[in-house]
Every structure is written in structure tokens, then in C-alpha cells.
Copies of this chain bind each other. A is one copy, B any other.
Amino acid sequence: MAVTQDELIYQLVKQYMQTSGQTITAEPGPLTERQVAPASEPIRLSTGVSNRHVHLNRHDLDELFGEGYELKEDKPLSQAGMFAASETVILAGPKGALTGVRILGPLRRNTQIEISFTDARHLGVVPPVMQSGETGKTPELTLIGPKGTITNNNAVMVPWRHVHMEADRAAAWGLKDGDIVKARTLGERSVVFENVIVRTGKGWINEFHIDTDEGNTANIRTGDIVEIIRG
């Protein structure tokens, strides 16, 4: 009789646990990682779901809002120093436009537009999945502000799903900047997000970041908890 992979692993782990004097908590049925997990501390993080937004550089803020314009902080974001500005722009592409697209501050070296694939289809572009800060040739989108219009063709991206971790905390969890992990959500729409990039920084808040498509797929919102799966 053919043995499924789950049954095989289950039998092997059961043998190992019995001969090593450990008990196994769950009897047959599909084997989940949790049932056999003997090992390391679980990592549970809060989720942040990011809606479409833009980061601007000094030049582009001047073009859109006028020379020397300063962004007004509407509300702080979870990472220290970052904020959602009161100001918004219109994003326009070959097939459609989106109004009220939030600007995040402070200003950056390069302007960057982060949208979901749902947004991209509405606008009529096919952006790459990129990490924040990456540059490269991307589709063009037009930004329209109260004082002017610019076109960005360097960083129109769907953000790569990632976790932010405080550097020392990440190290204690056995993780470092650039590692790839998975994130499992709970509930009837549960998914395991693969290819989640670990980003670490001193003093950072530990948080799992996804876009609105990913949030809607898992039916989770900002503040909901996910379990990080190493490796």
C-alpha cells in the first residue's frame, strides 16, 4: 500500500519521539507542522496592510505642490519617523486613474509608487514585484498634483511582501536581513505566504507587511496576527 508523504513523516517523527522518550500530542490525521514542532520559539507578528501610496523626492514634491512645499503629517506610521501625509495625488495610467492616493513622508531620495495588481489592472500597467528602494525601468504612471504633473517610470512597483524586524530580535530568532520566511494566517481564508523577505533595522517595530490584495485574500486587516515559518 502506498504511504503518503504526510503519513511517512508522521510515522518517522512518532518513532523518533517514542525512542527519545518524548510524547507526540496529536494522533493520526493530516500532520501539521505545529503537531510535530518540538523546536524553536514560534514567531508571531502583527500585520500591516498597505494601501496604494507614493513616496516623493524633493524635486517631485516641488513639481506637484509648488516650490519649497512641506508635507503635513496626518498620522504617524508604525515605524518611527514615518507618517501618512494629509496630501494626496491622482495616479493616472493608460486605462484608468485613481484619486486620493496618499503620500507617505518623509521625503526620499527617489520617488516610488507602490500599487497592488488590482490597481495595476485598473490603471493599465504591468509593474514588477520589487522591494522598496529598488530602482529599475518600470511602466510609467502620471502623478497629478494641485500645481503640476510628473511622470514616473523608474519605480512603479507592486511591493514584495516582507517583514520588518528589530535587528537584535531577528538575530535572537535566528534570522537576518535578506532571509526568506513564510507567513501563515488564520481563519477560513487562511493562506501561507511564501517568499517573504526579512528586513531588519535597529529600533524597528516587528511587523508583517502586505498589500491590499494579499490582505483581502487572507481576509486579514492591520493588527491581525500571523505566524512566521522559518526556512
Contact = CB atoms under 8 A, between A and B. Distances in A.
Interface of A: 2-9, 12-13, 16, 29-31, 33, 36-40, 116-118, 121, 129, 158, 160-161, 188-195, 212-214, 216-217, 219, 230-231
A163 B205 CA distance: 39
A20 to B, nearest CB: 10
A231 to B, nearest CB: 3
Contacts of A160: 188
Give the number of copies in the complex.
2
Nearest to A180: B30
B191 A38 contact: no
9 contacts: A2-B40, A4-B231, A6-B231, A8-B13, A9-B13, A12-B13, A31-B231, A158-B219, A189-B195
Given A117-B219, A216-B116, A216-B213, A8 B38 contact: yes
Contacts of A214: 217
Contacts of A216: 116-118, 121, 213, 217
Nearest to A34: B5
Given A118-B216, A219-B129, A8 B39 contact: yes
A39 B217 CA distance: 31
Given A38-B8, A189-B195, A118 B118 contact: yes
A116 B219 CA distance: 10
A129 to B, nearest CB: 5
Given A13-B12, A117-B219, A40 B191 contact: no
Contact of A39 (B4, B33, B191, B219): B4
A7 B40 CA distance: 11
Task: Identify the 6 closest CB pairs spanning chains A and B, nearest first.
Answer: A30-B231, A117-B216, A192-B192, A217-B217, A213-B216, A12-B12
